[in-house]
Amino acid sequence: MVSRNADCFGFFFFLLGTVSCTLFLAVNGLYSASDDVIELTPTNFNKEVIQSESLWLVEFYAPWCGHCQRLTPEWKKAATALKGVVKVGAVDADKHQSLGGQYGVRGFPTIKIFGANKNKAEDYQGGRTSEAIVDAALSALRSLVKDRLSGRSGGSSSGRQSRESGGGDKKDVIELTDDSFDKNVINSDDVWMVEFYAPWCGHCKNLEPEWAAAATEVKEQTKGKVKLAAVDATVNQMLASRYGIRGFPTIKIFQKGEDPVDYDGGRTRSDIIARALDLFSDNAPPPELLEIISEDVLKTTCDAHQLCIISVLPHILDTGASGRNSYLDVMLKMAEKYKKKMWGWLWTEAGAQSDLESSLGIGGFGYPAMAAVNARKMKFALLKGSFSEQGINEFLRELSVGRGSTAPVGGGAFPKIHAVEPWDGKDGELPVEDDIDLSDVDLDDIWDKDEL
């Protein structure tokens, strides 16, 4: 009896262990070592992806995300089909948030394509089937090969640079001294992250390549609004004393009008970049909302941003100034909400740019309308819901995580843009009609003809 009970208890614990193990695997990872999907972490990402000359498709996921779980079998199929041709990886961005933050991941799953220039990953916005993923990978691979053929590839040189110098260039780290500090930092409107170091410090030497690589990336992504600098605290002892430096390296954050604060985050390139981008977005003004009054406005805005959000608002005679301003207010609120994305925001009046409307599938009706355009790929997505904060937010949120259907811009390029006068902020006025003199018209004669 004892033996039988022991067997029962043993079986119970075996079963419990099996279930627990299964639940652990289900919750803690969507991929295993037996899959052709390469698991990426902050530890191996730089070596595997950034220093690689291969094309990479990388999924940033969260194990609890339902969309991620549905994508998993398709991602595995694509990885197997592309094995030896294109590398397919996955990052648990819920676990490795610093890595996700480095690449602007705000939703799951987010898929990035790392091509010739590994420092400029492209968002994948295609379908979520294995066939669509493979097609996009082969298309990106074809572009990579053509770039190499024409001598425009940056893949191999960036790989060597990463191995030799840690992935960054020290020229983007600003060296500060007792004499230059106040002029550059204290009197600046920009955000500064300043490392106080000692040349003999081992931790400082380990940080140096990460700091240099982060400086280059941050300079590019914030357009110089967040700066990374370094102070040799053994030489510039006035500064070291002024800010109470007691150990090395010490990193402090300086923002205009505020006391400096210590940076207590991680010391990897991805950690530093993530914090810098957060600082940038917290301090960045909302994007400008520009009216399309010329071809230059459209081209400059859309070329400078990953996406440009274009709204076509009803004619001023249909809404008046108050109605138009209410639509513009909605756009401004959305621009503020999504300012971390650094998108461009444009609007035009219905009928003012009819060729542009046609190329975006808007075509003369259904105002107000909105399209999100990727000028590099000449593809767009249309707002299908209401032109309201809620409707637009749902539309942009779907775009942010790579969902939503897209279509090519009609004609494969922006059409001719007509130069128009900017809106003066006033209600519209009906055109003045010419007075018609009916005194010489014989109405009886007209009626007689009608009777015939």
- Which residues have a catalytic role annotated? 65, 68, 201, 204
Helix (H) or strand (E) holding 110: strand 110-114
Distances from the Cα of 381 to the Cα of 71, 212, 378, 393, angstroms:
21, 38, 11, 14
| CA angle, 435 then 351 then 315, to 5° | 70
100 burial type by CB count under 10 A (0-12 exposed, 13-18 middle, 19+ buried): buried
Rounded distance, CA 91 to CA 289, Å?
Answer: 35
Rounded distance, CA 75 to CA 62, Å?
Answer: 14
Strands (E), 198-306: 226-232, 250-254, 261-262, 289-291
Rounded distance, CA 299 to CA 290, Å?
Answer: 12
Strands (E), 292-449: 308-313, 344-349, 369-374, 379-382, 407-408
- 139: tokens are 């298309």
Between the two ends of the chain, the Cα-to-Cα distance in Å is 117
Taking alpha carbons only, the member of 192, 325, 312, 313 closest to residue 254 is: 192
Rounded distance, CA 119 to CA 375, Å?
Answer: 20
* Tokens 């790392």, residue located: 114
Strand-strand pairing, 174-176 and 226-232: parallel
Q: Are the C-beta atoms of residues 165 and 267 closer than 8 Å to each other?
A: no
Residues 6+ apart with CB under 8 A from 397: 107
- 311: β partners: 347, 370
| CA angle, 371 then 374 then 375, to 5° | 110
- 329: tokens are 């207010």
Compute the residue count for the chain. Answer: 452
